Amino acid sequence: MTSGSTPLGARAGRILSGIQPTGNLHLGNYLGAIRNWVALQNDFECLFCIVDLHAITVWQDPKELIRNTREVAAGMIAAGVDPVANALFVQSHVPGHAQLAWVFNCVARIGWLNRMTQFKDKAGKNREAASVGLYVYPNLMAADILVYKATHVPVGEDQKQHLELARDIAQKFNIDFGREVFPLPEPVIRGPGMRVMSLRDGQKKMSKSDESDYSRIAMTDSRDTIALKIQKARTDPNPLPSDIAGLEGRPEAANLVNICAALSDRTAEDILKEIGGWQFSQFKTQLTEVAVSLLGPINAEMARLMNDPAELDRILARGAERAGAIAEAVLKEVYGVVGFLPRR
Ligand code: TYM
């Protein structure tokens, strides 16, 4: 693979990251993940995966899933991911992910999975009714990363625990078989957008599955919708503070300031110096301008790309071919190490 200004041999490592095609691609996905991918894509060899196998751990309407898969591809490209220099592909197109996940189901311990907070959150009170796939979700995620021997994984903060599990699996595999097969992948979690919170509740993360559409700014939202959602965002009755200490105990204010900082590539301190003493209504007008000027062009480009699904499918097919070649070689090595009789 070649890309940008840095030749492959000189790259800092290999990146794998993923995103679920579960609809409602939002500002958290953009600020917590996609924007970092764009920033890193010239310095690393990158594989960006649309994780449809993960998506079906909870029910997905089949037609919607296809549409959402293309929409994520369009969102990534519109946001600046270069699909020629990097492999942009769909997880189910590369069988190595599911194959390695099975091996990892036999490496990971039940106690490890029992500690995963995402399973507890998503399964809710009725755990018995959750899919088995949801339970072993982190093993598949480890396989996504390690089937490419990726060294770095840029994600939002919510994925930290999953990354720790991937490292534990890599380490246990290496120890069990007495071979340094897998590197221990490093999480790359950075920037003020690493945890974008809901616009309706500053204590909850912005999420694709929140019932309220007003909780998130979607990457497909029009200018008017963005303005309306920011206008309706929950706040408190006090004016904005002029320093970080003044955000203490004010999660909604902190969230809006952090979003503004992330969108305008400034620090929260810097923003607060400017807006200290303002009423929320004035700040919201400014935040809307910042959000619209950044997301507007992405939104327009996404719509253009979605109008040509055949071209998106071609891009994804090329990505799967490149990713598949790496995954196949790693899987062959793993099968050999585990002691599976080679097929002649
Ligand atoms: P997913 O689809 O929920 O989210 C995709 C990326 O967006 C980040 N993100 C956020 N960042 C900041 N604030 C938020 N409110 C917010 N919401 C989401 C996520 O951290 C993520 O980086 N399990 C993963 C998908 C996955 C994956 C992988 C990621 C599957 N295999 C391998 C990395 C490597 C997930 O559900 O992401």
The CA 34 to ligand 1 mean position distance, Å, reads 9
Q: Is the pLDDT of residue 177 over 90?
A: yes
- Tokens 């699909």 correspond to 83
pLDDT per residue as tens digits for the range 22-31: 998 999 999 9
64 and 190 housed in the same domain: yes
- What confidence score (pLDDT) does residue 212 get? 96
Over residues 237-245, mean pLDDT: 96
Q: Which domain holds residue 87?
A: 14-194+308-338
282 and 314 housed in the same domain: no
188 and 45 housed in the same domain: yes
Over residues 230-257, mean pLDDT: 97
Q: What's the start-to-end Cα distance of the chain, in Å? A: 30
User: 144: alpha, beta or left, given left = phi > 0 and alpha = psi -120 to 50?
Assistant: alpha
Which CATH number belongs to the domain containing residue 246 in this structure?
1.10.240.10
176 and 245 housed in the same domain: no
For ligand 1, is residue 153 a contact (CB within 6 Å)? yes
Q: Is the pLDDT of residue 8 over 50?
A: no
Q: Give a yes or no: residue 7 inside a domain.
A: no
Could you give the number of structural domains in the chain? 2
34 and 64 housed in the same domain: yes
For ligand 1, is residue 144 a contact (CB within 6 Å)? yes
**Interstrand relation of 45-50 and 14-19 (parallel, antiparallel or unpaired):** parallel
The CA 159 to ligand 1 mean position distance, Å, reads 6
- What confidence score (pLDDT) does residue 191 get? 76
Over residues 277-292, mean pLDDT: 97
268 and 239 housed in the same domain: yes
pLDDT per residue as tens digits for the range 65-111: 999 999 999 999 999 999 999 999 999 999 999 999 999 999 999 99
270 and 158 housed in the same domain: no
- What confidence score (pLDDT) does residue 10 get? 57
130 and 147 housed in the same domain: yes
Confidence band for 45, pLDDT divided at 50, 70 and 90: very high
Walk across the sheet containing 152-154 and list its strands. Answer: 87-90, 45-50, 14-19, 152-154, 186-188
Residue 11 C-beta-side C-alpha neighbours within 13 Å: 23
274 and 184 housed in the same domain: no
pLDDT per residue as tens digits for the range 308-336: 999 999 999 999 999 999 999 999 999 99
The CA 238 to ligand 1 mean position distance, Å, reads 33
- What confidence score (pLDDT) does residue 246 get? 97
Query: Is 208 known to be catalytic?
Result: yes
Q: Is the pLDDT of residue 9 over 70?
A: no
119 and 244 housed in the same domain: no
Of the listed 208, 229, 232, 284, which one is catalytic? 208
72 and 218 housed in the same domain: no
Query: Is 122 known to be catalytic?
Result: yes
Neighbouring-strand partners of residue 16: 47
Q: How far is CA 123 from CA 43, 56, 58, 130, in A?
A: 38, 14, 9, 6
